[in-house]
Amino acid sequence: MKHTNSLNRTPDTLPDATRADELYGPYYGVNPPQWLSTVNSVDADSRERLLRQEREREEELRSIRALLNAGVLINRLPIELLAEIFMQLRDESWDNPRWFNVLRVCRHWFYVAATAPRLWRRLLVKDSTNLLRTGLARSKHVPVDVEIAPRGMYTLFPDVLSIITPHAERLRLLKLGNIPASHMAQLITFLNTSSMTALQYFQAQLPVATSEGIVLREANFPRLRKLLVSNLNVVAQQSLVSRFITLDLGVHGAPSQQSAMSIDAFLNMISSLESIQELTLSSLFIKGASSAYVSDPTKRVHLRHLRKIQLTLDAIIVRRVFDAIVIPPTAEVQVTALHEDPLVVPSISALLPADRGCLPILPELVTARVLSCGDGVTLLGYPTVRPPLATGPSNLSLYAERADAEWDHNMPADALSEPLEVLRGSPKLELLDIESVTTLIASVDWPSVLSCFPRLREITIAECGEEVDLPSPELLFDALDPTKAHVSTEGSGTSSGTDSTVPCPQLQRLRLVGCWKKTEALATKAIAFLQNRRAKLGTDSEKPVLEELCVSVLVDIDEDAYLQAKTQFEDALKPYVTQVVFEAA
């Protein structure tokens, strides 16, 4: 409804302008009750009496309103059900004070919310400890989750520890964030002396070289299952660690000798994680990792419950981890292998034992992406079909990083061949997506590589280097031509092109994007390899050999000449390919 100021109304809607002339004090138009109708003035005694009567009437009104409020439909719900509704509101915004508004609606809602202990089990400390104190009192004996926001860490941390210490046995989750070094003595005392029998989750980023005094005794933490800490050596507490379902260990800052672990103790800890579901290890200081050892696949521990593993470690430590465990094929694997020595060449295969038995997902890969340009080599794998532009985490991610920032200008010749060699153990591969530079694409033995993937349906190769010595699409045309390629056959190694086996017999899409070299014989070569595939596959002459062929080439001709070349190429290949794309890079 639109509000209209009385001074701006039209004349026919104006109230009587002289209506005040009819008003008289002390009521000025208010109709008093009978017992006040003859009272026209108030002395001190009557004023006190009237104030008392006013309070009584207000109490009566509040009582009447409470009765009326009790009859509202939502307030007829059982208290337990209304509290459950409040729980849903709390869970949607537990780190936001909006859910506290239910306390202000009416007395009934205040009572229900303030006396439901479960509503107060999640306590976030931001600017003050008021909610923490209130929540600990109202949660009664229910286990509680306590988290300190970053902005409250430096000023409120000592008060928080003092407040929660009497309730230590009720703590179910404790997230402390980045602990200032000045507060470590109080934290060490708290952790070493408190019996936290309900604690299941503990997270803290401890300062370097100040956490050696922390001992997580099993008797004090009998239910601890999720530990996310930095700069804390826990390898000596294997009976405690072996029960973890989540373990996140890292080092932030310069590592100290005290926080260093021996490689044997570290691997024993990893092997003891039989219940682990999520494992994250980053930048750990491990001593003796480069010492000689004998790989024994029979001694690997199967982490059967593992759902996710994230490793950001030196490459040689990654190799030792993979040599100690077997990761389920359903687990998400994210690995960043660090190479601090610029003389060490990043290698995916160097991260894995020769038998590859640590990663059963490798034979199950259906989609793979290889990136070999920039500052390292990346291999991404998926057990399902993933289109080239699809986003989201991969089931397998192996990234070998090199410290040398100039590596992309001086790459080793096998920087692309090497990760493709790892994929030879993935016979179910259907989609292969590659991004690399000119010299590496040209150095790959494509006939040998492609002969390993009998189910491959799509190949995308993106050239991302400089416009010098560009590779020709003929490299791939020849590799896929059954009269030229050497195709692996089961039990007989390789055979000549006269064999009836066709490289990638199920191939439907070939995309060569980025910047490739255009040759005079490009269309002729393309037609030849398509004709030979049609003949070897026995494809009907009326049916296309491929669904899609995309070629992106560098052209140094004017637009009219380019359009003419594009039309000639696409028209020449139409009898063999459903969709032909010839484009300028």
| pLDDT digit string, tens, across residues 457-510 | 999 998 876 656 677 888 899 999 998 855 544 433 444 443 457 899 999 999
98-123 burial, b if ≥16 CB within 10 A, otherwise e? ebeebeeebebbeebbeebbebbbbb
pLDDT of 496 reads 40
Select the more confidently predicted residue: 388 or 201.
201
Q: What are phi and psi of 64, to 5 degrees?
A: -60, -45
Residue 185 has pLDDT above 80, yes or no: yes
Q: What is the mean pLDDT of the chain?
A: 85
- Greater confidence, 493 or 119? 119
Select from 187, 171, 189 the least CA-distant residue to 121. 171
By the 8 A CB rule, do 503 and 482 touch? Answer: yes
Output the pTM of the full model.
0.81
Task: State whether the Cα torsion 490-492-498-499 is positive or negative.
Answer: negative
Task: Please report the pLDDT score of residue 375 as a whole number.
Answer: 73
pLDDT reported for residue 191: 92
Instruction: Decide if 344 contacts 314 (C-beta within 8 A).
Output: no
The DSSP symbol for 453 reads -
**Angular region, 374: left φ>0, alpha ψ -120 to 50, beta rest:** left
Average pLDDT on 528-534 reads: 92
Structure tokens at 383: 């057990």
Q: What average pLDDT does the segment 520-527 reach?
A: 88
Task: Return the biggest CA–CA distance within the chain.
Answer: 123
Predicted local distance difference test score (pLDDT) of residue 182? 87
Find the mean pLDDT for residues 167-173: 96
φ, ψ at 577 (rounded to 5°): -130, 135
Which residue has better confidence, 471 or 124?
124
For 248, phi then psi, to 5°, come to: -130, 105
Strands 286-287 and 122-125, how do they pair? Answer: unpaired
309 in Cβ contact with 340 (< 8 Å): no
Q: What is the mean pLDDT of residues 335-339?
A: 87
Q: What is the pLDDT of residues 272-298, one digit of tens each?
A: 998 999 999 998 888 888 787 878 888
- If residue 421 lies in a helix (H) or strand (E), which one and from where to where? helix 417-422
Render pLDDT for 410-466 as a digit per residue (tens, 0 to 9).
Answer: 667 788 899 999 999 999 999 999 998 888 888 899 999 999 999 999 999 988 766
Show the tokens assigned to 169. Answer: 């046995």
Name the pairing type of β-strands 144-148 and 122-125: parallel
Length of the chain: 585
Residue 538 clears pLDDT 90, i.e. is over it: no
Residues 6+ apart with CB under 8 A from 212: 233, 258, 259
Count CB atoms within 10 A of the CB of residue 252: 14
pLDDT in tens, 53-106: 889 888 888 888 888 877 788 888 898 999 999 988 888 766 667 788 888 988
Q: How confident is the model at residue 1 (pLDDT cuts 50, 70, 90)?
A: very low
233-255 pLDDT per residue, tens: 887 777 888 899 999 998 866 55
- List pLDDT tens digits, range 192-234: 999 999 999 999 988 876 667 788 888 899 999 999 998 888 8
